[in-house]
A and B are shown apart, each in its own frame.
Chain A
Amino acid sequence: MGREQSQYVIVGGSAAGMAAAQAIREKDPTGTITVISEEPDAPYFRPLIPFLVSGKKQAHEMVLEGCGPYQAAGITVNTGSRAAALDANNHCIVLEDGTRLGYKKILLATGSRPYVPPDIEGADATGVFALRTLDDARRMAARIDQTEHAVMLGGGLLNLKAAFALLERGVKVTLVVYSPEVLSQLMDPEDATLIRKALDDAGLAIMTGVAAVGIQSDATGVTGVVLNNGRELASQMVCIGKGVRPNVEFLAGSGIRVTEGIEADRYTATNLTGVYTAGDVAVTHDPVAGTPIMTALWTNAVEMGRCAGQNMAGLKTAYCGTFGILNATQVANEPFVAMGIVHTKDGDYEIHRKAATGSYRKLVFDKNGDHLIGAVFVGDITNAGLYRYVIREKMATAAIKRQIIEHTLHYGHFSF
């Protein structure tokens, strides 16, 4: 097979990959940029796919190009094209069809895919989904007509979004959660009370402390879910939201250092020359704890992707790292933000909680009470960006601690 050449190659055309392409183009107006993307669709805003299920948006309303910061001038995107191996010695990537694509700089931004626990029997039946791609969303939407009841396995944000999309389409939905409460990744159970109430009020059935052991199906696809408490739920659709795993298999034997994901240094570079990484697939560091971290967030993927793009285009730029938890959203009319360290059961922290009608907030300081390290806001998320800033910059909080605790912090407190 032939050998082609591109100055910059980007594997993965989503948040991290396209942000990098854009950043490269801003710094280097002429270098050729080729994006290889396995999916058949042109790059799109992945977090919008639940709207395809609910019917509120169509696929063409989700495209990246021309939206927000993505102008994509002079960037070639090869969709439906999969990287099969990295031949770093010869500075080229081998595609599944055998084509070798040479690069001077390459970005590995292959993201992640849903994790389907192997102990759930029958998970390969028609009607079982793990919502990740636009294609998944299309298939899910197509099955709604024959679905009276959907069972969601996992109580994370993704499943909540999918659940609401289905509720909007008139499907009955039951959320099966193994943890003691929904959103256990984003907050402690007692901090989720308001959200839980909003979900209950919105008509979502939630079972906590139970897990699925098997999925039953016949020629029509899914017919039911068997739980570990012996119960069976008749159901025509199952959605598995049990976290994600990085797409790193194609790197086997390439010499790239892969631990849980691809290891990135402070400049988003991997251990091999000219090879960079960003997004869900990359291991970076938490600026507060200093520990290695992988996140599964669009916002982080873009930020890291931009940084990688700048480095690739020759502008040495340190990546400031990110919190593992950095979520804002609104479920069932309840806005919330969770950022930084929010799980406080097993640590020595100074915690301030305040509950009022319709709002709840928790502020986590280090054990000396000098630095804000995490925050959960439910209901009232005003000025959340400032709190993120205080956490991320590790600001000494003595002068503004009262404002932080009383939730009256505003930018005026920073200007002199």
Chain B
Amino acid sequence: MSQPKEIFVRTDRCVGCRSCINACAVEHSESKTLFGAVMQTPRPKSRVYVEWVAPDRKVPLVCRQCEEAPCMHACISGAIHRDDDGVVRTDSDKCIGCWTCVMVCPYGVIGRHLEEHKAYRCDRCPDRDVPACVSACPTGALIYQSVPAYAKTVRQNASHELVKAERG
């Protein structure tokens, strides 16, 4: 079995351009085009958040697909389950908008669709090979890789840095 992939965040690279937010909203719109998304009411919702930490750090946030997903175990209506690919999903037909999941997600990445009275969050873009936010990120702050592959990248980067440092 191939290793499941994760969305990793390199906060040192995020410049807060919000490309990921727009791409996510477009991907989750009816038309899947920017123009259509802007015209749609209610506006399609992004499931990525870019938060700002003083003085100038930007932190993109997206559902971590937690192993012991607190949201899934807390849901009082059985709307949240983990699919075969390991992605934690909210079934909006079953969601009753009680916001229990919002109360327990320690990352704050569950949104509330007020018009529809439903919770929503990252679904890893089931129609795409690479999630829209990752494709859209111009700086490589979002990375879609398996854990071992990402660890390798991090190690390689670190050794490049080391080598650079040693060479002075």
Chain B binds chain A? yes
Residues of B within 8 A of A381 (CB): 99, 102-103, 112
Check if A80 is an interface residue, CB within 8 A of chain B: no
Contacts known (A45-B76, A385-B105); A411 close to B99, Cβ less than 8 A: no
Residue of A47, A69, A385 with most partner-chain B CB within 10 A? A385
Contacts known (A68-B81, A299-B104); A412 close to B59, Cβ less than 8 A: yes
- Among A122-130, A136-144, A246-254, A325-333, the one that faces the other chain is A325-333
Report how far A388 CA is from B105 CA in the complex, Å. 9
Among the listed A19, A47, A330, A384, which residue makes an inter-chain contact with B76, where contact means beta carbons less than 8 Å apart?
A: A47
CB pair A299–B78 under 8 Å, yes or no, is no
A311 to chain B, nearest CB (A): 15
**Binary CB contact string for chain A from 382 to 412 against chain B (1 if under 8 A, 0 otherwise):** 1111101100000000000000000000111
Among the listed A47, A48, A306, A337, which residue makes an inter-chain contact with B99, where contact means beta carbons less than 8 Å apart?
A: A337
Contacts known (A381-B99, A389-B106); A302 close to B73, Cβ less than 8 A: yes
Among the listed A45, A327, A385, which residue makes an inter-chain contact with B106, where contact means beta carbons less than 8 Å apart?
A: A385
Check if A335 is an interface residue, CB within 8 A of chain B: yes
Check if B11 is an interface residue, CB within 8 A of chain A: yes
Check if A303 is an interface residue, CB within 8 A of chain B: yes
Residues facing A in B44-86 (CB within 8 A) are 49, 51-53, 57-59, 61, 70, 72-82
Residues of A within 8 A of B49 (CB): 410
How many B residues, CB 8 Å from partner? Answer: 38
Contacts known (A69-B73, A328-B98); A383 close to B104, Cβ less than 8 A: no
Residue of B82, B100, B117 with most partner-chain A CB within 10 A? B100
Residues of B within 8 A of A337 (CB): 99, 102-103
CB pair A329–B99 under 8 Å, yes or no, is yes
Among the listed A19, A47, A69, A326, which residue makes an inter-chain contact with B98, where contact means beta carbons less than 8 Å apart?
A: A47
Check if A30 is an interface residue, CB within 8 A of chain B: no
Check if B140 is an interface residue, CB within 8 A of chain A: no
Report how far A303 CA is from B57 CA in the complex, Å. 35
Report how far A158 CA is from B108 CA in the complex, Å. 27
Residues of A within 8 A of B53 (CB): 412-413
Residue of A70, A381, A412, A415 with most partner-chain B CB within 10 A? A412
Report how far A70 CA is from B73 CA in the complex, Å. 9
CB pair A298–B108 under 8 Å, yes or no, is no
Closest-by-CB residue of B relative to A47 is B76
Residues of A within 8 A of B61 (CB): 410-412
Residues of B within 8 A of A186 (CB): none
Report how far A19 CA is from B112 CA in the complex, Å. 26
Report how far A69 CA is from B11 CA in the complex, Å. 32
Check if B94 is an interface residue, CB within 8 A of chain A: yes
In the complex, the number of residue pairs spanning A and B with C-beta atoms less than 8 Å apart equals 115
CB pair A410–B99 under 8 Å, yes or no, is no
Check if A360 is an interface residue, CB within 8 A of chain B: no
Residue of A19, A68, A69, A382 with most partner-chain B CB within 10 A? A68
Contacts known (A45-B76, A68-B72, A302-B74); A326 close to B81, Cβ less than 8 A: no
CB pair A69–B102 under 8 Å, yes or no, is no
Residue of A330, A383, A389 with most partner-chain B CB within 10 A? A383
Contacts known (A69-B82, A330-B98); A19 close to B73, Cβ less than 8 A: yes
Contacts known (A48-B96, A330-B117, A388-B104); A412 close to B51, Cβ less than 8 A: yes
**Binary CB contact string for chain A from 357 to 374 against chain B (1 if under 8 A, 0 otherwise):** 000000000000000000
Among the listed B57, B74, B78, which residue makes an inter-chain contact with A64, where contact means beta carbons less than 8 Å apart?
A: B78
CB pair A47–B59 under 8 Å, yes or no, is no
Contacts known (A385-B104, A412-B51, A412-B61); A328 close to B99, Cβ less than 8 A: yes
Report how far A382 CA is from B80 CA in the complex, Å. 19
Among the listed B58, B96, B98, B108, which residue makes an inter-chain contact with A386, where contact means beta carbons less than 8 Å apart?
A: B108
The list of the 5 closest CB pairs from A to B, nearest first, reads A67-B78, A412-B59, A383-B108, A328-B103, A68-B78
Which residues of B pack against A, CB within 8 Å? Answer: 11, 49, 51-53, 57-59, 61, 70, 72-82, 94, 96-100, 102-110, 112, 117
Jot down 10 A-B pairs with beta carbons below 8 A, ordered by A: A19-B73, A68-B80, A68-B81, A69-B80, A298-B76, A298-B100, A299-B100, A335-B99, A411-B51, A411-B107
Which residues of A pack against B, CB within 8 Å? Answer: 19, 45, 47-48, 51, 61-62, 64, 67-70, 298-299, 302-303, 306, 326-330, 335, 337, 339, 381-386, 388-389, 410-413, 415
Known: A337-B103, A412-B59. 11 other contacts (CB 8 A): A45-B78, A68-B78, A68-B80, A298-B100, A326-B103, A328-B100, A330-B97, A382-B102, A385-B102, A385-B105, A411-B51
